[in-house]
Structure 1
Amino acid sequence: MQQRAIETRQMILEAAAEVFDRDGYSGATIAKIHQRAGVTQGALTFHFRTKLDLAHEVMNAQKNHFSLPPGEDGLQRLIDTTLLLAQELQTNMLLRVGVRLAVDQELIGIHDPTPYQMWVDEFKGQLSAAAARGELREHVDVEELAELLVGIYTGIQLFSQSASRRADLPERLVSFWRYCMGGFVPPHVQAEMTVDADQFTAAV
């Protein structure tokens, strides 16, 4: 794809995300999106045939708009990833909209586990590194735990969205790690982990 076409496609995706964020999927229209992008409707439909195609693309691109926190792969980096995600969901519109669309799939008419599986794979990578470093209990199945953690995270962020528009999401995650980490992490490792809700505030 030529560079200009790539740039146009990206502008359309960003405009679509802004409209979805402001109006929701049901309130968004192709007209609003192409006006926000500053392109003709023909240019938009050249790249994306329908609003549903746009929503699908934005939903599955969410991980492209998030960078992992620094540090070696393992349990601490997984903890830090969940806390950084909490901050980014408040400030990173492209990530936030991708997550919102993934949650709203049933209403939109999409049935695609891809966005969840992307996070499962990322969490599994960190958990696999943690297991290799002796940071997990011996009985832990890292794939099963990764799927469980992604499901738990989804539920916590939805509750937080309803309660405070995610303002309290970092604190809710701290509570999760404090109460639940012992189920899959040995006590001496848990004592070494840092779970700080404020550590990424200045960075976003």
Structure 2
Amino acid sequence: MNVLLDHLPEFREGFLGTLAITAASAVLALVLGILIAGFRVSPIPPLRAFGTAWVTLLRNTPLTLLFLIAFFVIPQIFFPGTSPFVLAMGALGCYTSSFVCEAVRSGINTVPLGQAEAARSLGMTFSQTLRMIILPQATRTVIPPLSSIFIALTKNSAIAGAFSVSELFSVSKLLSDKGYPIAWIFLWIALAYLVITFTISGAFRLLERRLEVAR
């Protein structure tokens, strides 16, 4: 208990840092995931090829390697001086977007083909059909897997602590270097992660129930 009370500002900063990197990466992953899912079901072959390559490459690349590329390659070639937070958000968001894409694509595949055919018969374009007809119906199916994906994202954010991003893992490293008992440090950090993941899980369960009522 003493390690928590004596270093409450550090734990608070790490907790808020984990919340920030998780939320920012989740938004990026959701936007990219939906976009890439649209590419994967697009009637345009180059877009389908790009979507397939994106998912295949990112899902089969270790997240740590993506962090190394983001921090030691991207700033040197493209964006020098980029903050560690933005680089970590990019690595986490792009990696997670591949999983979001597959979840969204699976949801799209559950929508009857007749829905798209009816939309085309009304003169709607592919993007209009996807945005106004397909995605709203696929949402109910997509919610449960997205919950698991964002919980995994929360836990994956711990890697950012090894790359100068202030979050819970960086707090554990700081305090363990000062000689505090590692077991107590990990206990409080584990509880902090549980608070975040339970909140995400509860929010998605609430959203899922609201969508069921609307059915």
Which TM-score applies when normalising by structure 1?
Answer: 0.29
Q: Which has the higher contact order (CA 8 A, sep 6+)?
A: 2
In proportion to residue count, which structure has more helix? Answer: 2
Which of 1 and 2 has greater Rg? 2
TM-score normalised to structure 2 length: 0.28
